Amino acid sequence: MEPRFSGTRRYIADEGLLADVNAAVLLGRPLLVKGEPGTGKTMLAAAVAEALEMPLLVWSVKSTTKAVDGLYHYDVVQRLNDARFGEGDVRDLRRYIRYGVLGQAFRAEQRHVVLIDEVDKADLEFPNDLLRELDEMVFHVPELDETVRAAHRPVVIITSNAEKELPDAFLRRCVFHYIAFPDRERMKRIVDVHLPGLPEALLDAAFTRFYGLRRVEGMRKKPSTSELVDWLTVLARAGVPPEDIVTKFPFSGILLKQEADLELVKSRR
Amino acid sequence: MLLPLLYNLRAQGLKVGIGEWLAFLEGLRQGLATNLDSLYRLGRALLIHSETHFDAWDLAFSATFKGVELPPDLREQLAQWLADAMAAEGGRVPVGFESMEELKREFEKRLREQKERHDGGNYWIGTGGSSPFGNSGRSDGGVRVGGKGGGGGAVAVADERRWQGYRTDLTLGVRDFKVALRALRNFSREGQIQLDLPGTIQRTAQNAGEIELDFRPARINRMRVVLLVDTGGSMDPHAALVSRLFSAAAELKTFKTFDIWHFHNAPYRYLYRSYENFDRTPTGEVFEKLTPEHRLVWVGDACMAPWELFSSGWGDAGPTGFDWISRFARRCPQSAWLNPDPPKYWDHPTVRAIGGAMPMFPLTVDGLKRAVQKLRGGAAARAA
C-alpha cells in the first residue's frame, strides 16, 4: 500500500488538495501547484515530506537557473585550478562532479520529496529541458559516460506564480492543482495553527477588514495570508481593541506594501 | 461512459491529449475516483492545466454527467447515511420540517422519485444547493449526505461555475498582459561586456593551463515596438482596459525602443504624444522613422462612420486615414490590430476594411497572445 498524504498538524490542506497530492504520488507524476502568493504553495512540499516521512530536497529556481543545475555540475574551474597548482588527483573526474537536487534524489537509497520552487522564475524553455528527466527519471552524465537512473521515483512538487506561461508539453505531464485563496472558515483554522488562542472578537474584526481589503477594486497587491498572520501578531501584541481595527485600521503598512494601495484605501473612506 | 466527457472537453476548446487521457484512465484503474466528486477532482487535476480552463472543465463535466443515474447500491448507502445522520443530529429537527418522521418521509419520497424518474439529475439528494438533503451546506437545516463536509456534489459544484472569473478569454489584468507581452522579447548579444566562462576555460586549456580571460557582450532585447492607440469617443468605455495594457507595456522596460502615439478614429496628418498639451508630430515623420523591424500594435475599436476612415480628416488634403493605416501596415509587415470590442461586433464596414489591412485580434489575453505570435512572425497565429 502506498503511503497516503492527509495533511499535517502544521499544514491545513483542503480535501481537493489531498486528493491531488495522492493522485500525483500514486501516478508518479509531478504535482504542479499554482496560486496567489501566500497561499502556502512552498509549505505544501514540507508538509508532504513530513506526512509521508520522506526527506525533502529543495531546488529554488532563479532567473539564471538552468535545467542541468538540478542534475549535476561539472566543476571545471576547480579541476583547472587543481591542475594548475597541483592539488588533489585531477585524473579522478568523479571528484569534480557535484550532483544537483534531482541528481541527489535519483541516486538516493530512499524515496525523496523534491520541491522545484517557483519554476516560472527561470527561462521560458527551462521546464522543457526537464521533460525527460521528470518523465523517465533518468539522465546521462557525458563527462563520466554514466546514466543516473532513479532507484526510487521521487515525489516531485513544482510551484509556480504564473509569472510566465509554462510550455504545453510540460503541463501535460503534470497533475495540476490551483490553490484558491482560503475562505474565512479555512483562514480561521490556518491562523489558529500559527497563532493559537487569539480572542474571537479580534479575529472577527480583523477578518472583516482583511477580506474587505481584498475586495477593493484596482488594488495593486492584494494582502495575502502571510501578511494577515503578521498583522494579527502585531495587533495582539499591541493590544488593539477590536472596535479600533475596523474604524482606525492600525498598522496598515503591514497589509498594504504599496503606497498607491494605501492611498486607494484612504480615499475610499 | 467516459468518452462523451472527452468530446465535451474538446467541444469546449480544451485540447486534451492522449497522454493525459491515459493518465486519467490509469488513475481510475488505481481507484483514485470512487464517486462523482473524486472523478471531478481527478479529471480536473490531470486533464486541465490552468485555472483559466476550470470554467470550461465545469461546463464539460456538467454537460456529461448531469442526469446520470445513481447506481442502485448508492441508494442503499444514502438510506444508511440518513439513518446515521439522524442519529448524529441527536434528534434536532431541521428548519422547515415538523418532525424527524416528516424529514425521513420526504427523503424517501425523493429517493423513490429518483428511481422512477430516470432523468432526475437536477433533483439529486446530495448535490442540490438548496435541498435539505445534501452536503453543500446551503440549507439552514437538513441532512448532510456523505462523509466529510466541505465539498459539494461534483455536478452542483460544476454548475456553480465558481471559476468563471478566471477565464482568460473574458477577463484580464495588468499581469496577464505583461506575461503575454513578454513573449515579444527578442534577444541578441549586443549589451555590456561580460566574462564568458566557457570561453575562458576553452582558451585557458589551449594556453596550457595559464589562465586566459575571455569576454563577450550580454544579451539584450532587440525588439522595437510602437503602440498606436485610438482615444476618445467610442473608445471611452474601454479606457480602463486600454490603460491596463499601457501600464503593462510601460513596466516592461525590456524593449529596445517603445513608443506610444495617439490618434482619434484614424491617423490623419498628425499623431499625438498626448492630447492634453497638444504635443503632436506629423504622421509622415513618424512613418519615415519606421523600419520593417518595428512591431506595430494598433489599439482601437476600428468602428466609425465610413467617411471618417476614407477621408483626410477635418478638411485636410492628403492621405486618408485608411491610406495611412495601409502604408504603415506595408512598411511594417509585423503589425496587429487589437480591438476591445468582442468579435461579434466586427461586422461593420470600417472594421472589415482595417481587418483586411492587417490581422485583427480581440483585446483579451488570448487575443493578445495570438497577436504577439503574429508579431514574432509565428506561423501558428491565425486571424480571428
At residue A99, φ and ψ (nearest 5 deg) are -80, 140
- Which candidate, B14, B381, B182, places its Cα nearest to that of A164? B182
- Identify the H or E element spanning B48: none
In B, minimum Cα distance to A135 occurs at: B19
How far apart CA A90 and CA A80 sit, in angstroms, is: 8
Q: Which pLDDT belongs to residue A104?
A: 92
In B, minimum Cα distance to A179 occurs at: B51
Q: Which pLDDT belongs to residue A89?
A: 80
Q: Which pLDDT belongs to residue B257?
A: 77
**Cβ–Cβ of A34/B51 closer than 8 Å?**
yes
Among the partner residues B27, B41, B49, nearest to A27 by beta-carbon distance: B27
Q: Which of A70-74, B85-89, B112-116, B294-298 has the lowest mean pLDDT?
A: B112-116
Q: What is the mean pLDDT of chain B?
A: 71
**Cβ–Cβ of B209/A80 closer than 8 Å?**
yes
Q: Which residues contact A240 (CB under 8 A, 6 or more apart)?
A: A202, A250
In the A/B pair of chains, how many CB contacts fall below 8 A?
A: 73
Q: Which three cell numbers stand for residue A253?
A: 503598512
Question: Per residue, what are the HEC states of chain A?
Answer: CCCCCCCCCCCCCCHHHHHHHHHHHHHCCCEEEEECCCCCHHHHHHHHHHHHCCCEEEEECCCCCCHHHHCEEECHHHHHHHHHHCCCCCCCHHHHEEECHHHHHHHCCCCCEEEEECHHHCCCCHHHHCHHHHHHCEEEECCCCEEEECCCCCEEEEEECCCCCCCHHHHCCCEEEEECCCCHHHHHHHHHHHCCCCCHHHHHHHHHHHHHHHHCCCCCCCCCHHHHHHHHHHHHHHCCCHHHHHHHCCCHHHHCCCHHHHHHHHHCC
∠ CA B81-B87-B89, nearest 5°, is: 100
Q: Which pLDDT belongs to residue B152?
A: 42
Name the pLDDT band for B191 (thresholds 50, 70, 90): low
Name the pLDDT band for B137 (thresholds 50, 70, 90): very low
Smallest CA–CA distance, residue A186 to chain B, in Å, is 10
Rg (C-alpha) for chain B, rounded Å, is 30
Among the partner residues A14, A164, A165, nearest to B150 by beta-carbon distance: A14
Instruction: Please tell me which of A147-161, B23-37, B251-265 the model is most confident about, judged by mean pLDDT.
Output: A147-161
Identify residue A204 by its one-letter amino acid code: D
Q: Which residue has the higher pLDDT, B171 or B84?
A: B84
How far apart CA B365 and CA B175 sit, in angstroms, is: 10
Q: Which pLDDT belongs to residue B146?
A: 37
The bridge status of strand B279-282 relative to strand B295-299 is: unpaired
- DSSP state letters, B174-230: HHHHHHHHHTT--EEEEEEEEE-HHHHHHHHHHTTT-----EEEEEEE--EEEEEEE
How far apart CA A44 and CA B204 sit, in angstroms, is: 46
Contacts of B17 in chain A (CB under 8 A): 172
* B39, B50, B219, best to mutate vs chain A, most A CBs in 10 Å: B50
Map residue B8 onto helix, strand or coil.
helix
Cα B34 from chain centre: 31
**Cβ–Cβ of A178/B51 closer than 8 Å?**
yes
Q: Which pLDDT belongs to residue B139?
A: 37
How far apart CA B357 and CA B267 sit, in angstroms, is: 14
Q: Please check the confidence at residue B281 and state whether its pLDDT lies above 50.
A: yes
At residue B92, φ and ψ (nearest 5 deg) are -75, 125
Whether residue B33 lies within 8 A of chain A, CB to CB, comes out as: no
Map residue B266 onto helix, strand or coil.
strand
Determine contact, residues B91/B100, Cβ cutoff 8 Å: yes
Map residue B297 onto helix, strand or coil.
strand
Q: Which pLDDT belongs to residue A55?
A: 92
ipTM: 0.74
- Which candidate, B45, B155, B77, B312, places its Cα nearest to that of A20? B45
Q: Which three cell numbers stand for residue B196?
A: 564568458
The bridge status of strand A146-149 relative to strand A155-160 is: unpaired
Name the pLDDT band for B163 (thresholds 50, 70, 90): low
- Identify the H or E element spanning B300: none
* Burial label, B140 (beta-carbon count in 10 A; 0-12, 13-18, 19+): exposed
Instruction: Please tell me which of A185-194, B63-72, B129-138 the model is most confident about, judged by mean pLDDT.
Output: A185-194
Q: What is the b/e burial string over A168-206, where b = at least 16 CB atoms within 10 angstroms of the residue's CB?
A: eebbbbbbbbbbbebeeeebbebbeeeeeebeeebbebb
Q: Which pLDDT belongs to residue A1?
A: 39
Report B:131-160 residues touching A (Cβ under 8 A): 148, 150-151
Q: Which pLDDT belongs to residue A115?
A: 94
Low-confidence stretches of chain A (pLDDT beneath 70) = 1-14, 38, 163-165, 217-218, 220, 268-269
How far apart CA B109 and CA B82 sit, in angstroms, is: 13
Mean pLDDT calculated for residue range B77-94: 56
- Which candidate, B135, B140, B134, B86, places its Cα nearest to that of B110? B134
Q: Which residue has the higher pLDDT, A165 or B368?
A: B368
Determine contact, residues B336/B359, Cβ cutoff 8 Å: yes
Q: Please check the confidence at residue B126 and state whether its pLDDT lies above 60.
A: no
- Identify the H or E element spanning B286: helix B283-289
Q: Please check the confidence at residue B130 and state whether its pLDDT lies above 50.
A: no
Strand order in the sheet with A175-179: A56-60, A113-117, A155-160, A31-35, A175-179
Q: Please check the confidence at residue B75 and state whether its pLDDT lies above 90.
A: no
Q: Which pLDDT belongs to residue A113?
A: 92
Among the partner residues A19, A124, A162, nearest to B42 by beta-carbon distance: A19
At residue A91, φ and ψ (nearest 5 deg) are -75, -20
- Which candidate, A96, A66, A70, A102, places its Cα nearest to that of A83? A96
How far apart CA B383 and CA B361 sit, in angstroms, is: 7
Smallest CA–CA distance, residue A87 to chain B, in Å, is 14
Q: Which three cell numbers stand for residue A42?
A: 512552498
Mean pLDDT calculated for residue range B328-335: 88
**Cβ–Cβ of A77/B197 closer than 8 Å?**
yes
How far apart CA A90 and CA A146 sit, in angstroms, is: 19
How far apart CA B363 and CA B299 sit, in angstroms, is: 8
Map residue B58 onto helix, strand or coil.
helix
How far apart CA B340 and CA B238 sit, in angstroms, is: 7
Whether residue B16 lies within 8 A of chain A, CB to CB, comes out as: no
Mean pLDDT calculated for residue range B356-380: 77
Among the partner residues B19, B45, B54, nearest to A20 by beta-carbon distance: B45
- Which candidate, A168, A130, A170, A137, places its Cα nearest to that of A151? A137
Q: Which pLDDT belongs to residue A106?
A: 92
Q: Which pLDDT belongs to residue A103?
A: 92
Among the partner residues B23, B48, B204, nearest to A80 by beta-carbon distance: B204
